[in-house]
Structure formats: structure tokens, C-alpha cells
Amino acid sequence: MKRCFLYPGQGAQYSGMGKDLWEKSKPVQELFSGASDETGINLTKVLFEGTDEELRQTENTQVAVTVVSLAAMTYLREHEVTSDACAGFSLGEYAALVDAGVLSQKGVFRLVRKRGEFMADAALRLDGGSSGMAAVLGLNFEQASRVLDDLSGEDIFLANHSGPTQIVLSGSDKALSRADELFDKAGALRFVRLKVSGPFHCPLMKAARDDLAEYLKDIEFKDPVKPVFANVTGAEVSTGAEAQRLCVEQIVSPVRWVPIEEKIAAMSFDQIYEVGPGKVLTGLWKSFTKASRCMPAGTAEEIAGLAV
């Protein structure tokens, strides 16, 4: 049985996520405890007792999503279900790098907390926070690119190539308002401003990239033990050094999710699982192709129901 694991990113979080895994698994409890010790965040309290507002704080969210994704991976392994390849969307790439043996499970939690802090700080420095992101639905990549060409010179950039007819933009509020008008004229079905704290995955986050580059100098990145795909290139990562460089560039580069899906589809996996909270990647996979299955595997019930 050939399997690929997909790990979700920031935005997939919800209050109470991971509690069922924590209740059923001693290794998951140990994972939560270690992550809390590494980051100074009481994760069981934030996830199981905290408010939505606490969970939405970037420095909490990135650790919380990562620990729940790795808790699901841990619980799958307890059920003797492992991956033969993996990928992660944005933040989810860090869980994938743990799965592929590039990053240590212990060290990844402090890393993603620092990443969250760097991103939050960089966003606040930008015009008092007057910037953000927007999803555009109904145009393919080439059509959307032509609209962006008309916005050349303004602070707006492609942030995610999420699906065949779905992209995400990052930029200043002024540029996003202008983009709304142009995409409407181009025939987009929807232009939806996202509830995020900054213009992620674009050059406006250069300060966060520079901070992360300095921090990662002291982090060990090993060569992957299985295929793992990078957001920046949409291709397989060859070495630990390459993974480290791409983690830095990911901060200011678009998530090339459709090219990653194309690579995974070409490898003819028997099963593809979304390992972590929510079903965002399952939905994106269904919009990408009807030929292959992607199933959610982020709760104890979902994992128990998998055919192994």
C-alpha cells in the first residue's frame, strides 16, 4: 500500500482540535508535553480550554496546528499507517519535513513558534497593519496572472496557487481594493478578503524572511528519507541544505500547491491522507482531480475508520 500524507497550514485550526487523539494515546500526550516545554505554551490549555482569539494568535496558531498534525501522524503510526511521501501547505511543510526526517520532532515546535513571531512582527511594521490577503475564485492561473500584470508596480502579489481556479493574493489594502475591481471585470466569481494578520507569502514579508534566515543557521536540516515536496518550487526536495534554504524563501514566495498535487498524482499513490486538523486540503484535492482520493485523517475517529 503506497501512501502520501498532506499536512494542512494555518487557518485549519479550531478549538478543541486534537483532544480525542490526546485522550486515546500516551505517545500523543508525550508529544503535547514536549511541545509545551519547548515553546512555553500550555498547549492542552490553549487548545482544549482557550478561546478562539487565543488560538488565532499567530505565535500560538503555528505551534497548535503543527502539534495536532504531528499528533495525527503519531496516532497513524500507532495504527501501523505510515507515509511513503509527504507535503505540507505553507506552515504544514514543517510537519512534512518532520515526517521526512529532515527536522527533529522535538525542535520543530520552537522553530514554528519563532516563525510565527517573525511573521507577526513583520506584518505590524507594514503601514500599521493595513495589508492582508484575498482569495480569488473562478479564474485559472493564466487568467489571474494577466490581471496581476495590469497591477504591475503596485504592492500586490500571488501568494497561493491553491487550485485550478483558485488563487490567493497578498498585498496592501489599497492594492487589494484595486484588484477587487479588476478581477470582477475579468470575470472572477468571487473576491474574498481573508481574516489574516498580514500579507503572507509575498515580498512584503522580507523582514520575517531575514529574521528566519538568521534563526535557521543554528538548526540542523538532514537529508530527506522519503520524497517531500517544497512550496517554493512545487518539486521534490533533494537535500537538507535545500530544505533549509526553501524554508527561508517560503516566507516571501507563493505556495505552489497545484504543481505539488500534479507531482503527487503522477506517482500513483493508493491512498492520500490529509493528516492534521480540518479538511481544507481534501477539498483542494477534490477540486484538482476526481481520479485520486484524498481522505481526512486528523481525528481518532477518522483514523480508526481508515482501511489499512
Domains of the chain: 3-124+203-304 (3.40.366.10), 129-193 (3.30.70.250)
Q: What is the pTM of this model?
A: 0.95
Share of the chain above pLDDT 90, in %: 86
Q: Left if phi > 0, otherwise alpha if psi is -120 to 50, otherwise beta: which for 243?
A: alpha
From the candidates 90, 131, 170, 253, give the one annotated as an active-site residue. 90
Distance set, CA 233 to CA 139, 240, 257, 288 (Å): 22, 15, 9, 18
- Across residues 291-299, what is the average pLDDT? 84
How far is it, in rounded angstroms, from Cα 275 to Cα 71?
A: 9
Q: Catalytic annotation on 79?
A: no
Q: Please, what is the Cα angle at 234 between 70 and 84, to 5 degrees? A: 45
Nearest CA among 95, 77, 28, 32 for reference residue 276: 95
Per-residue pLDDT, 271: 94
From the candidates 197, 201, 253, 292, give the one annotated as an active-site residue. 201
How far is it, in rounded angstroms, from Cα 279 to Cα 6?
A: 11
- Judge whether residue 85 has pLDDT over 60: yes
Tell me if residue 250 falls in helix, strand or coil. Answer: helix
pLDDT tens track for 150-204: 998 899 999 999 999 999 999 999 999 999 999 999 999 999 999 888 899 999 9
Per-residue pLDDT, 58: 80
pLDDT tens track for 224-262: 999 999 999 999 999 999 999 999 999 999 999 999 999
Q: Catalytic annotation on 83?
A: no
* DSSP symbol at 223: P
